[in-house]
Structure 1
């Protein structure tokens, strides 16, 4: 039996253990900003990761949030992931981890707890992890505000970054991602009695409605795939008062830096529709796009690894959603994303992963890491 098939067989023997760990990890809720839950999840992963790597985790606490880092002096490869999910505490009671046939479901199972389980299994399959760094953050779903500098620092120390976010439902990895921006638009109006003298007020709800239409047009005036989406909205105080303020969140996604900057300029240039209304814009560009050029060499290595394992081939997909891979690619560090679980429905009630594909993806990651850590093998960084 050749090396590739031995690696795959070893991964297949870890299938039951991976499924058991996945159930435990999904049950250990990790809602955004919920410190007790994030601490508990970090503790579980610190134990598992330290066992797999043979060295202790370094808990990096930033603004109270616990990130897990296993650095190494000669860091050829950085494995990157996050253990926070989008689901509020208590979701697990109404939607527990469930296995039906080849599918496992539960909050965060695909994004990205199965990817973490596979990552740790892959590390157990690698004989020498001395050139492999691992970083698991806990604020990716809220913009990586506290972890970004840590991610960028570790990426700069690495020759390549492998991101264990989920693959596509077909099993394709991700070679390009849209960049993203997040804005807050605050409207300042003037309160008045809605029944007695509404004409004395400046209605912030009416103003924000006009701004929503203006924002929507920013994403539909071109064919570049740019989206500008108003999301969270709040306004007013009581039902009989002209609202004196309104607040709107805006999500922007684009394939190019130029498009993100075009929309950024337009949003900062918005003007009020109603006389004497005032606008204030907060936020800005969060992640620049992840370009395909940085991922292509790694994709070819991954496909060669897959052939050696005898597992199904895959392609490089474009993903509209952003990840922490956007940060590492923006530094010119070769980055390949989507090396986690095969599944779909991220952030939704029907989120799932394919259990039978977990061993092959763990083996794929292990084989790719081995190749990248081999003496003399280098992937060129782009300045």
Structure 2
């Protein structure tokens, strides 16, 4: 597993570089081909390469879901080299989530029967899954369970609840003028966007865990010109769908404070919340299996970050997230994986998958016997 993780980490794959993502997809495909004896489908959407393995003749019943793109730019290995030392594995993207991809493939390889299993590894999760969302939702809709190989929360906790995410871009159109000679003839887009920043920030509700954060900001062109244009990005995160709708309606209802300025709102709801009920039964199953495997007591966590698990949970599909690597430092200089946990957590994933697949098979057999007996009667 360490060798396979090294292969993927050394094949850098920033989300915005389609060529790099395509090379990474081939590295993932080669590992899967070796372990599973099967070639994946290469699904290219708008230039971005995703991989899918399906086993059996019927629709998928269990989906192992992950991504092979990272936030790390090409050349990151020069400053953050791959290494394993004192039981800790390091390298750009190792925790989020190339180790998780390797775990999914090794867990699938350990299954005595893969009938009904699907593995989907996408290439654009870190930028919000704009090209893979339809693939994910189509693949999940027939499933009894989705297991997401995103990295665990602190201390190895599984992620049983995630905030929903909305992303907006507020664009302001003003009118340029010379800042020294006749500023009164301009419409200052910088001042207007400042009013909009205060308005959206006021939509936050700490008591409900709702955050609405203005982030990337631009305004103006030169130091002696009244800004004719300005924009601000807004990141909103909520625990429940009602809050997500409230914030969405409020952002779309923003009006200019200066009647001569114009504003346009782009973006919207990106991922719905992953609510606790979507993961409750699968987490209980994981706890039982972990005890039998000697993996240790499992804990759960609610986190502000979103994943593709939000999409499948939003469809009403039972979804358990955070089944990937144990470690920390996602997107940061100290990104790392605890090596000793790799085989243990992979064994848990295999047991979860096998149990759900076996339950589906036994239920189908019971139904078939019942239908046959009814006909004889």
Structure-2 residue corresponding to 1:206: 191
Runs (4+) of structure 1 exceeding 6 A deviation are none
For 1:121-136, what aligned pairs fall within 5 Å after superposition? 121-136=106-121
Conserved 8 A contact 2:7-2:27: no
For 1:189-204, what aligned pairs fall within 5 Å after superposition? 189-204=174-189
| SS in structure 1 at match of 2:208 | coil
| SS in structure 1 at match of 2:102 | helix
Q: How far 1:54 moved relative to its partner?
A: 2.5
Structure-2 residue corresponding to 1:252: 236
Conserved 8 A contact 1:371-1:377: no
In structure 1, C-alpha distance between the alignment counterparts of 2:38 and 2:162, rounded to whole Å:
33
Q: How far 1:275 moved relative to its partner?
A: 3.3
In structure 2, C-alpha distance between the alignment counterparts of 1:120 and 1:32, rounded to whole Å:
21
| Cα displacement string for residues 186-216 of structure 1 (whole angstroms, at most 9, x for unaligned residues) | 0000001112111211111111112111111
Cα separation, partners in 2 of 1:117 and 1:377, compared to 1, 3 Å: farther
Structure-1 residue corresponding to 2:221: 237
In structure 1, C-alpha distance between the alignment counterparts of 2:85 and 2:182, rounded to whole Å:
61
For 1:269-348, what aligned pairs fall within 5 Å after superposition? 269-348=253-332
Q: Equivalent of 1:365, from 338, 349, 356?
A: 349
Q: How far 1:305 moved relative to its partner?
A: 1.1
| Cα displacement string for residues 209-241 of structure 1 (whole angstroms, at most 9, x for unaligned residues) | 121111111114x51000011111112112221
Structure-2 residue corresponding to 1:53: 36
Runs of 5+ unmatched residues, structure 1: 1-17, 379-383
Cα separation, partners in 2 of 1:196 and 1:161, compared to 1, 3 Å: same
Structure-2 residue corresponding to 1:6: none
Structure-2 residue corresponding to 1:99: 84
Structure-1 residue corresponding to 2:371: none
In structure 2, C-alpha distance between the alignment counterparts of 1:45 and 1:377, rounded to whole Å:
34
Q: Equivalent of 2:362, from 367, 373, 376?
A: 376
Conserved 8 A contact 2:146-2:319: yes
Q: Equivalent of 1:351, from 329, 335, 354?
A: 335
| SS in structure 2 at match of 1:66 | strand
| SS in structure 1 at match of 2:195 | helix
Runs of 5+ unmatched residues, structure 2: 365-377
Q: Does 1:112 align with 2:97?
A: yes
Structure-2 residue corresponding to 1:9: none
In structure 2, C-alpha distance between the alignment counterparts of 1:196 and 1:163, rounded to whole Å:
60
Q: How far 1:134 moved relative to its partner?
A: 0.2
Q: How far 1:377 moved relative to its partner?
A: 5.7
Q: TM-score, normalised by structure 2?
A: 0.93
Q: How far 1:298 moved relative to its partner?
A: 0.6
Aligned residues: 360
Q: TM-score, normalised by structure 1?
A: 0.91
| Cα displacement string for residues 164-183 of structure 1 (whole angstroms, at most 9, x for unaligned residues) | 00111211111111100011
In structure 2, C-alpha distance between the alignment counterparts of 1:376 and 1:225, rounded to whole Å:
42
Q: How far 1:132 moved relative to its partner?
A: 1.2
Conserved 8 A contact 1:53-1:129: no
In structure 1, C-alpha distance between the alignment counterparts of 2:85 and 2:228, rounded to whole Å:
52
Structure-1 residue corresponding to 2:22: 39
Structure-1 residue corresponding to 2:156: 171
| SS in structure 2 at match of 1:346 | coil
Cα separation, partners in 2 of 1:188 and 1:27, compared to 1, 3 Å: same
